[in-house]
Structure 1
Amino acid sequence: MLPVALLAATLIGALWFNGPVAAPDRPVAVLFPPWWSEERTLGAAADAGGAVLGLGRLSGLVVTQSSDPGFPERLRAAGALILFDPRGFGLCTPSRERLR
């Protein structure tokens, strides 16, 4: 139940703040469909031209970065549901299970 509530809160908050967060050379958190595999998620971020900086606590959440101004549009075309500033929600740090 808690992961669903966190996902819902993240989606609502990200939609609320989904402004120009993907400025060139700034990290951006990207939520891809949570039912995608980790390989597909990472591949989509890389195919959009970004350097993957890390995975978030939720399935489908990736922190990535690119200096190309067209990067946000390519992320959306690759399947990104939401783009947001990775500093805002605390969900963009690895979970304890991934650290083991």
Structure 2
Amino acid sequence: MSSVVIAALSMQARSGADTVAAIFPPWWSAQQAMLATAAAGASVVRTGAIPAIMIVQPAQNGGLAKLRAAGAWFALDPQAVAACFSNSTTTRSEGSGA
């Protein structure tokens, strides 16, 4: 458990980030995560690898705090999250330009 917390802290999105990966409780459905994202005034860019991850543009003026108040556990760098949840087949095909 402590290694998960350390990893999450090291991938924290910086304040003022244009796009973040909002990590909601893993038992939440995609609908719950979308509703919470909307309640925080954030815009969904795309969904993540699991339903409880939303890649979003936070609202202006305290957007990260609003996401946390809406139920997000963490707001992380979306590139770091993508690296953790991608598979080698998808990454290879995306990188090949095919």
Task: Please confirm whether the aligned pair reaches a TM-score higher than 0.5, indicating the same fold.
Answer: yes
Gaps of 5+ in 2: 91-98
2:76 corresponds, among 66, 81, 84, to 84
Aligned to 2:25: 33
CA distance 1:60–1:10, shift in 2 (3 Å): farther
Give yes or no for contact 2:58–2:67 (8 Å, CA) kept in 1: no
Q: Which has the higher helix share?
A: 2
In structure 2, what is the Cα distance between the partners aligned to 1:93 and 1:38?
17
Aligned to 1:60: 52
RMSD between aligned residues: 2.8
Gaps of 5+ in 1: 1-7
Q: Higher Cα Rg: structure 1 or 2? A: 2
Tell me the secondary structure at the aligned position of residue 78 of structure 2: coil
Aligned to 2:34: 42
CA offsets per residue over residues 25-83 of structure 1, 9 Å max, x none? x1010100010111110010111001100111123000000350211111000011011
Q: Percent identity?
A: 32
The size of the alignment, in residue pairs, is 87
Measured after TM superposition, the shift of residue 10 of structure 1 is: 6.4
CA distance 1:28–1:92, shift in 2 (3 Å): farther
Measured after TM superposition, the shift of residue 89 of structure 1 is: 3.1
TM-score, normalised relative to structure 2: 0.71
Over 6 Å off, 4+ runs: 92-96
Aligned to 1:16: 10
What amino acid does structure 2 have at the position aligned with 1:17? Answer: M
